[in-house]
Amino acid sequence: MDIRKLIEQSPQISSLPTIFYQINEAVEDPECSFIEIGEIISGDPSLAARLLRIVNSSFFGFPSKIETISHAVTIVGMAQLHDLALATTVVNQFKGISKEAMNMEKFWLHSVATGLAARIIAVYRREPNADRFYLMGMLHDLGRLVLFLNIPDQMEKVMDSYEKGGTLYEVENEIIGADHAAVVGMLLEIWKLPEMLQEAVAYHHTPSQSPHYPSAASIVHVADVVAHGMELGTCGERYVPPLNAKAWEMLDLPINLLSSIVEQVDRQASEAVEMFL
């Protein structure tokens, strides 16, 4: 299956809105001020309104209401606001999925729970820019939505076959010749997102095969297993995927960290998902 072709035939998702690239450019420009970034985002009233709703949500819990985007940038920070802009843009772009194919509230709950778990693990491991791992978790299963949007009949066959056993990504490979992880990896490449993000999601089922970022892929993998184990939402999987032993070893996490991850994700997941829906 030609994954690139599959994605490019779907104009709704094959590119991000221009505003996202303008924000990206501004964030990377050391001379760009908070006010200038605020002005760029405010140029898209719909995005600005969604971002203000997010930063004023109970998830952030700021003591007073944030009225402007430039104020939001100063409080949340450029990098995190950039990632929130991407997350809310992506949620918006996948609004056309039918309820029969996927319960989108449950899908985003699973995605957010994976993001929260990934960020907690990244903080524990002192990864630079740990907030970026939240975004990886949010995006890790997007490939499944791409497949449901573009080849619903084949995905129906996948789901029927999955009923008989096996892991969902293996059944996808068997029936359509690619799995949702490879699809989201290509999607992020087409969107020109950083290579680390591409690899972490593309290899989240097979982290030790990641050529350059096996530890990032391992973090997303373990976070995904935790979110499934907690039964927070679903991306179509009926069972908890097996934990990759090499990924667990590579991260070298103390076993008692798991209860802390579960407790924090449990506390934050429903508030975090409300930010986007």
Residue 101 has pLDDT above 90, yes or no: no
The per-residue pLDDT for range 47-59, each reduced to its tens digit, is 999 999 999 998 8
Q: How far is CA 81 from CA 16, 106, 163, 176, 261, in A?
A: 16, 24, 40, 37, 24
Would you give the end-to-end CA distance of the chain in angstroms? Answer: 32
Residue with the bigger pLDDT between 118 and 241: it is 118
Do 9 and 150 meet the contact criterion of CB atoms below 8 Å apart?
yes
Question: Average pLDDT of 33-51?
Answer: 92
Query: Distance (Å, rounded) from C-alpha 139 to C-alpha 80?
Result: 15
Amino acid (one-letter) located at 277: L
Domains of the chain: 3-13+97-274 (1.10.3210.10)
Average pLDDT over residues 195-216: 97
| Confidence label for 238 from pLDDT (cuts 50, 70 and 90) | confident
Taking residues 153-177, what's their average pLDDT? 91
What lies within 8 Å, CB to CB, of 86 at 6+ separation is 16, 20, 135, 193
Name the residue with higher pLDDT: 128 or 100: 128
Query: What percent of the chain has pLDDT above 70?
Result: 100
Residue 219 to residue 115: CA distance in whole angstroms: 10
Q: pTM to 2 decimals?
A: 0.94
Confidence of residue 276 (pLDDT cuts 50, 70, 90): confident
- Check if the beta carbon of residue 85 is closer than 8 Å to that of residue 51: yes
CA dist., res. 219 & res. 124, Å (int):
11
Q: Residue 131: CB partners within 8 Å, gap ≥ 6?
A: 79, 80, 83, 119
